[in-house]
Amino acid sequence: MQHAKYVSLAEEILAYFECERCGECCRTLPISLSWADIERLYKMEGESFFDKLDDGAIENCLKTPCPYLRNNRCMIYDKRPLVCRVFPFEFAYPFPSIRLCPLGRKISAELGKLERELRSRNEDDTGKEAVRKVIEAYDRVGDMMYEEGQGMRCEVTIVSMELLEKLLNRLKGGE
């Protein structure tokens, strides 16, 4: 997956949708931090930032639930980590995927419409790429990390970069 291209597509697509701010992602999912995220948050908070990191995580993650969540509002919204800025688009898998939270369902519905239209026009090479699946995700829930093979079942939409590009083009008013 082309990471930078995926991030750019995700950010542009998200500009056309509104999150319901249910806070479920902040309360239940691990929030992985890039080095840029760590540097930015450390500069903002100093040494107290380290108290917000999950000592039990293999990678740099914030504690779950997110320590920056207050009354379903992000206290660092303008400085939130990359994984939060592009959610429900995910990097957890080796393919572009969308978590099916309320916002993810909206985006997936639009992808589904586009996919059906492409198939009806016999553009099967792109239209067949979006696939909704229930997959095993190894998410952190509270203090419990699932062992391999015992993951939390969650729904995601697996989608090609080409279909995401076509969706963005449609959202921008193109065809």
Confidence of residue 147 (pLDDT cuts 50, 70, 90): very low
Is there a contact between 131 and 96 (Cβ–Cβ < 8 Å)?
no
- Report pLDDT digits (tens) over 12-67: 999 999 998 888 889 888 899 999 999 999 999 999 999 999 988 878 999 999 99
CA distance 68 to 26: 9
Residue-wise over 133-149: b if at least 16 C-beta within 10 A, else e? eeeebebbeeeebeeee
CA distance 121 to 127: 9
The percent helix, strand, coil of the chain (3-state, each to 5) is 45, 20, 40
DSSP-based three-state secondary structure for 37 = helix
Domain boundaries along the sequence of the chain? 3-171
Residue type for position 47: E
- Report pLDDT digits (tens) over 99-115: 888 999 999 999 988 88
Is there a contact between 76 and 41 (Cβ–Cβ < 8 Å)?
yes
- Determine phi and psi for 108, rounding to 5 degrees: -65, -35
Confidence of residue 140 (pLDDT cuts 50, 70, 90): very low
> The whole model's pTM is what?
0.80
Cis peptide before 30 (omega within 30 of 0): no
Model confidence at 138: pLDDT above 50: no
Confidence of residue 129 (pLDDT cuts 50, 70, 90): low
β-partners of residue 162 are none
CA distance 101 to 60: 24
With a pLDDT cut of 90, the percent of the chain lying above it is 45
Q: CB-based contacts of 139: which residues, under 8 Å, 6+ apart?
A: 28, 29, 30, 146, 151, 152, 154
